Amino acid sequence: MPPIAKVVVEIALDREFDYQVPAELSASVRLGSRVQVPFGRTTARGYVVGFADHSARTDLKQIAALISPKPLLTETMLKLARWLADYYAATIEQAIRTLLPCAVRRKGAGFRERTLVTLAGALPDKTTLAALRRRSPKQAAILDILQQEGELPLAALLRAARTTPSAIRSLAEKKMVILARATAWRDPLADQVILPTEPLTLFPEQATALSLVKQAIDTLKPSVVLLHGVTGSGKTEVYLQAIRFCLDQGRGAIVLVPEIALTPQTVERFYSRFGEAIAVLHSHLSDGERHDEWYRIYEGRARVVIGARSALFAPVERLGLIVVDEEHESSYKQAESPRYNARDVAVMRGRLESCAVLLGSASPALESFCNARNGKYALCELTHRVDHRQMPRVRIVDLRQEAQPTTGAILIFSRELVAAIHQRLDQAEQVILFLNRRGFATTVLCPACGYVAVCTHCAVKMTYHKGADEVRCHICGRAQRPPARCPKCLAPTFKFSGIGTQRVEAISRAIFPKARIERMDSDTTTHKHAYSRILGDFKAGKIDILIGTQMIAKGLHFPGVTLVGVIYADLPLHLPDFRSAERTFQLLLQVAGRAGRGDVPGEVIVQTFAPFNPAIQAARRLDYLSFYDQELAARQELRYPPFAHLVCLTLSGLLAEAVQRAAQTLAERLEQILPKTVILSPPIPAPLSRAKGQYRFQIVMRSTSVKTMTAPLKETLKTTRFAPGVRIIVDVDALSMM
């Protein structure tokens, strides 16, 4: 009997199907192979995830075709897929889709080919060439260009010679040139000129950190290193030299950075050190670029991968090191099933691949720092900046004291911040103004009756965007013109209150009319190259004041910035989330780190309505340890992470009553089956109770073991039927309760 292959098809059924391997494919179908199989009345694509000697079924169908000659998934990556599905309560099909980019899986995806033209040999003799110049000067021009440039793509040669394909075909018939088809690699860095750099001399703390990472690469003792370094302490140089050590041993590396920190500046640093050995994977690439970059890694042409969370699954051979920069970042958490955290999956892949993992941050997640304190990870600290440059001075401004004495209105710019900006502009230094809220006004209010414009599909207020003259929902994206009259009382005027980056920009231009001001948020960076253009202008000194959201808070090194102003520092504190204090502290620490990275000491002015909040006071002192100890004590008392794992179940649907009943039914059934060690919270409306037309309820579970929650949950979901239209999202180790 032919061997039996276990195949997972690209439909989320959470099942493996048995197929016979036909004799003609028995030598080529392997673990991880992509195959075409008959499935019901049609065919489906799938992946071979195992083999068996026998099957419970006797009427097995045969694999129809082998799609990829070489397996796309290794045995190790299949183990990782199974772990992903099991840990994050997802299906095996969802896990495999996560491992392979859509640009690789998509039907019809492939390489782009082009025609290359080269000289067939030496140029013809002078007599022949002279005759050719008289009869056909275009053909002679083609030969001259090829003699000078060598091999050229057909399209480029036609432009250079200003001729038509017929002239080149004539030369090919005369056997003077050769036309050949070749793969045209779509390189996202093709248009950039990046000069090579050499390793820098490390100061003692960096050298100690590098030595520990090298030991981890060599012996896996320790296997995970947490590099806790203040902003500007040279963590990236440690990454670069550790990767060089890996390459010298014939091994590869993966570097993960948050999507918002994946700037041209970051990519340039790695490319300048490793050249074409690097591949880049992130969401700003086109499908074609992502397809080709993945295959460059797959074929071993690129040995260092830098990218956002999905780059973690790049098919790097002989992986020696995984670096997770800014490991605390919430953007490492996937928003779709399986809702994995790339930091935690990096640790698991490191274990499966027997490679070292290096986590780096100026403000590590409490879970990571707790693991280091408990000895699970090795801890290495960089306590000062490169060349012992001063850390920025942080000043707190109490906005409660900044109210205008006559009206009581709150000033958006404090007097201290305005004076400090004027001083920097006079000294030709640069300023960053940070506000993690886009738009012009966050509330559209009728002063006559108190009506507030709220999205009809979401339980959030609409935000006014001045440039487009529209009110927009930041949850579902719905936009419309501001109403001419109040829909409730028909009053003709509206008041735009609250503040976003657009308003900060408008006020800045009024207060500092001679300054060159630019804003960077998701509204101004919709164009593919807008992000790099703005940062390039800022780096070149063409911008005096850069205003932005969290995309300017991390991963940027601009020596000319000597002042950072945080407009409203306490905005994240008001979110109904147990991590709000941690997020506020981390964000303030990161944005403060943009100041004073050059020779001139930096200053940070933090405007807040809660100046004595522990998170803001710890950020003022740049004191991670005191914040860690205080926050950890609160978490331990409440049995929140890192002292327990947290699973958040979100049920949603168009009918609030149906969603509430489903949540109540699920909670009751879980209560009957869950072990007593699991803390089960009753179902309540989610903090964001309605989004995109869907009503939302939440159930939260906490336990020291994930499996004690997910195993009973999976069984309960299999046997429980809910009302049509009710959807359930399972978020293991949830980072946000919104």
Mean pLDDT value across residues 703-721: 93
Task: Name the token pair of 215.
Answer: 């030991």
Predicted pLDDT of residue 227: 97
For residues 33 and 110, the model is more confident at 33
Q: Supply the mean pLDDT for the chain.
A: 88
Angstrom CA distances, 364 to 509, 589, 641, stand at 37, 11, 14
Predicted pLDDT of residue 79: 96
- Range from 391-395, 525-529, 631-635, 679-683 carrying the lowest mean pLDDT: 525-529
- Of the CA atoms within 13 Å of residue 656, those in its CB half-sphere come to 9
Cα gap 488→472, rounded to integer Å: 19
Mean pLDDT value across residues 209-223: 95
Helix H or strand E segment including 5? strand 4-9
Cα gap 161→23, rounded to integer Å: 54
Contacts of residue 553, Cβ cutoff 8 Å, sequence gap at least 6 = 260, 434, 436, 587, 590, 591, 594
Cα gap 562→390, rounded to integer Å: 12
Contacts of residue 74, Cβ cutoff 8 Å, sequence gap at least 6 = 31, 32, 315
Length of the chain: 738
pLDDT bracket for residue 445 (50, 70, 90): confident
* Percent of the chain whose pLDDT exceeds 70: 95
- Range from 475-479, 532-536, 686-690 carrying the lowest mean pLDDT: 532-536
Mean pLDDT value across residues 173-201: 74
Asked if 625 and 381 touch (Cβ cutoff 8 Å), the reply is no
pLDDT bracket for residue 131 (50, 70, 90): confident
Domains along the sequence of the chain with CATH: 4-100 (3.40.1440.60), 113-183 (1.10.10), 204-387 (3.40.50.300), 393-438+500-634 (3.40.50.300), 645-732 (3.30.70.600)
* pLDDT greater than 70 at residue 184: no
Asked if 675 and 705 touch (Cβ cutoff 8 Å), the reply is no
For residues 718 and 356, the model is more confident at 356
* pLDDT greater than 80 at residue 280: yes
Asked if 342 and 309 touch (Cβ cutoff 8 Å), the reply is yes
pTM: 0.86
Cα gap 249→242, rounded to integer Å: 11
For residues 406 and 576, the model is more confident at 576
Mean pLDDT value across residues 679-692: 93
Dihedral angle at the C-alpha atoms of 255, 374, 335, 50, nearest 10 degrees?
80
Asked if 481 and 496 touch (Cβ cutoff 8 Å), the reply is no
Predicted pLDDT of residue 435: 92
Mean pLDDT value across residues 592-617: 89
Predicted pLDDT of residue 641: 94
* pLDDT greater than 60 at residue 409: no
- Range from 50-64, 453-467, 551-565 carrying the lowest mean pLDDT: 551-565
pLDDT in tens, 69-106: 889 999 999 999 999 999 999 999 999 999 998 888 87
* pLDDT greater than 50 at residue 594: yes
* pLDDT greater than 80 at residue 195: no
- Range from 191-195, 264-268, 424-428 carrying the lowest mean pLDDT: 191-195
pLDDT bracket for residue 491 (50, 70, 90): confident
* pLDDT greater than 60 at residue 406: no
Cis, peptide link before residue 222, omega less than 30° from 0? yes
Predicted pLDDT of residue 1: 47
